[in-house]
Amino acid sequence: MHGDQTKLKKDPLIQDFISHLQLERSLSKNTISAYSSDIYKLKHFANSVSLDRIDHTLVSDFLKSLESVGLSARSLARIISGLKTFYKFLVSEQVIVANPLQTIDTPKLPKTLPEVLSHEEITSMLESIDFSKRSAERDKTIIMLLYGSGLRVSELVDLKVNDLYLDDGFIKVTGKGDKERLVPIGAKTIRQLKYYFQSYRLDIAKDAQLNNVILNQKGNVLSRISIFKIVKSMAVKAGIKKSISPHTLRHSFATVLIEAGADLRAVQQMLGHESITTTEIYTHLDNSYLKTIIEQYHPRS
C-alpha cells in the first residue's frame, strides 16, 4: 500500500479487517484496497474520533460531504457497502454493539446494461494498430486475449507463461479470490500468442525468470493502467465513440457467446462468475438486442 493507505496499517481495527478479508473471504487485492481506502476516508473525516466510536450522525455527515463534492451514486453505494461490511465485522468481533450504518440506505442505481462492441468494431480496433511499432503484436495480443477469452484486466496482467496450454487449447486463469479456472482459447488467438512470443516477448524479456505473458517495452510486467490506455487509444483511432475499457471487451466476449446460444453455465464458468445471477445480465443484453431486431425488421412491431 502507498500514500494514505500506509497509515491504515497503524490502525489495529483496520488491520484485523484486512486480515479477515484476506484469510476468511479470500477477496482480491484490488477489492481489499478499495475497502481500505474508503475506511481511511471515513477515519480522516472523523478526525480525532476513533473508528469504534463513530456513530450514525457522524457517518451521515461523512456521506453528505461526499455527495456535496459530486460523488456519483455508484461510487457512494460502493463506499456505503464497504463501510457496512467493516462495521458488521466489528459487531461480529464484539468490538462495538451496533452497526452505525444499519439504517443507512444504499442509493438505488439505474439498471444499465454494459457497453459492448460488435465484431466489426473489434476488427476496426485491430486494424487501427500501427504495425511499424515494436509494440504492435503485443497490443494485438492484448485485444485478442480480452475479447477472445473474456479475461479481466487483472487476470491478463497476472497471466503467466506456465498458464498457457496452447497445444490443448486452454489457458489457466487466476481470478478473484485466487480461484483458478480453465478457459478455452481459439486457434486465431493461439497463433497470435505464438507470433507475439517470437516477434516481441523473447526479445524484450530481460529477466529470464519473469513469467508474466504481457510485458512492456522495457521487459517488465505491463500495468493495468497501461492496458487501459492501449485499449482506449485503439478505440479512438478506430473512430469508436462508445466509452471503452478492457472490461468492455470482456462484456463483448460474453455477449457474443450468449447471442450464439451458448449455455449460461458454460459462460459463467469461462467468466469466473461466482454466481449465475452475475452472468444473467448478458441474457438481458441479448433480449435487448433481440428487441432492436424486431423493431427494425418486423412490419407490425
What digits encode the pLDDT tens for the residues 250-269? 888 888 777 777 676 777 77
Distance CA 224, CA 241 (A): 22
Amino acid, res. 172: K
Is 106 contained in some domain? no
Same domain, 203 and 150: yes
Question: Does 152 participate in catalysis according to the annotation?
Answer: yes
Verify that 51 and 198 share a domain, yes or no. no
Strand bridging mode 164-165 / 180-184: unpaired
Verify that 64 and 135 share a domain, yes or no: no
Residue 111 domain flag: no
Residue 109 maps to a domain: no
For 195-253, write each residue's pLDDT tens digit.
Answer: 999 988 888 876 656 789 999 988 889 999 999 999 999 999 999 988 888 989 988 88
- How far lies 102's CA from each of 43, 54, 141, 207, in Å? 18, 13, 47, 51
CATH number at residue 61: 1.10.150.130
Say yes or no: 216 and 81 in one domain.
no
Residue reference for cell 516477448:
201
Determine whether 176 is an active site residue. Answer: yes
* Selected catalytic residue, list 43, 201, 251, 273: 273
| Res 232: pLDDT | 94
Nearest to 85 by CA among 14, 156, 140, 133: 14
What's the length of the chain?
301
Q: Which of 78, 176, 181, 232 is catalytic?
A: 176
Return the percentage of the chain with pLDDT > 70, whole number.
82
Q: Is 297 a catalytic residue?
A: no
CATH number at residue 277: 1.10.443.10
Instruction: Give yes or no: 196 in active site.
Output: no
Residue 212 β-bridge partners? 160
Q: How many domains does the chain have?
A: 2
Same-domain check for residues 144 and 239: yes
* Structural domain contains residue 69: yes
Give domain status of residue 114, yes or no: no
Among candidate residues 175, 300, 162, the one with its CA nearest the CA of residue 250: 175
Q: Is residue 155 part of a domain?
A: yes
Are 188 and 233 part of one and the same domain? yes
In the predicted structure, residue 5 carries a pLDDT above the cut 70: no
Asked if the structure places residue 225 within a domain, the reply is yes
User: What is the DSSP secondary structure assignment for residue 97, as one 8-state letter?
Assistant: S
157 shares a domain with 281: yes
Which pLDDT score is estimated for 58? 94
**pLDDT level of residue 54 (50, 70, 90 thresholds):** very high
Establish whether 273 is a catalytic residue: yes
247 is catalytic: yes
**pLDDT class of 110 with cuts at 50, 70, 90:** low
Say whether both 142 and 286 belong to one domain. Answer: yes
Same domain, 141 and 21: no
Beta strands in 110-216 (DSSP E): 164-165, 170-174, 180-184
Are 257 and 129 found together in one domain?
A: yes
Range of the domain at 166: 119-296
Choice among 43, 138, 140, 152 that is catalytic? 152
Same domain assignment for residues 39 and 135: no
pLDDT of residue 297: 47
Task: Please report the beta strands in 179-287, taking only residues with DSSP state E, as ranges in sequence order.
Answer: 180-184
pLDDT digits (tens, 9 = 90+) for 119-136: 899 999 999 999 999 899
Largest CA distance in the chain: 68
Looking at the fold, whether 230 and 150 belong to one and the same domain comes out as yes
User: Is 30 domain-assigned?
Assistant: yes
Per the confidence metrics, is the pTM higher than 0.85? no
Cα 194 to chain centroid, rounded: 26
pLDDT for 287 beyond 70:
no
Q: Which of 75, 92, 109 is the last residue of a domain?
A: 92
